Amino acid sequence: MPGFELFGELERKQVNDVLDNGVLMRYGFDGMRNGHWKAKELEAELQTTFQSKHVQLVSSGTAAVSVALASAGVGAGDEVIMPTFTFVASFEAIMMLGATPILVDIDDTLCLNPEAVEQAITSKTKAIMVVQMCGSMGNMDALQAIANKHKVLLVEDACQAIGGTYKGKPLGSIGDLGCFSFDFVKTITCGEGGAVITNNKAYYTNADHYSDHGHDHVGNDRGAETHPFLGYNFRISELHAAVGLAQVKRLPEFLDIQKRNLNILKDALSDIPEVTFRTIPEGGDESGAFLNFFLPDLETTRKVIQGFKEGGVDVCWNYFDNNWHYIRKWDHLKDLKSLFPISKEVKDGLEYLKTKDFSKSDHYIGRNISCLIKLSWTEEEVRHRASKMIQVIKAVL
Q: Which of 135, 132, 144 is nearest to 106 (CA)?
A: 132
DSSP state of 242: H
Can you tell me the distance from the alpha carbon of 348 to that of 334, in angstroms, rounded to the nearest whole number? 12
The arrangement of strands across the sheet holding 284-285 comes to 169-170, 165-166, 284-285
Q: What SS3 class is residue 129?
A: strand
Q: What is the DSSP string of 171-192?
A: TTSSSSEEEEE-BTTSSS--BS
Contacts of 356 (CB under 8 A, 6+ apart): 103
Active site residues: 186
Q: What SS3 class is residue 96?
A: coil
Positive or negative: CA dihedral 195, 201, 205, 207: negative
The two most distant CA atoms of the chain are separated, in Å, by: 69
**φ/ψ (deg, to 5) at 96:** -60, -25
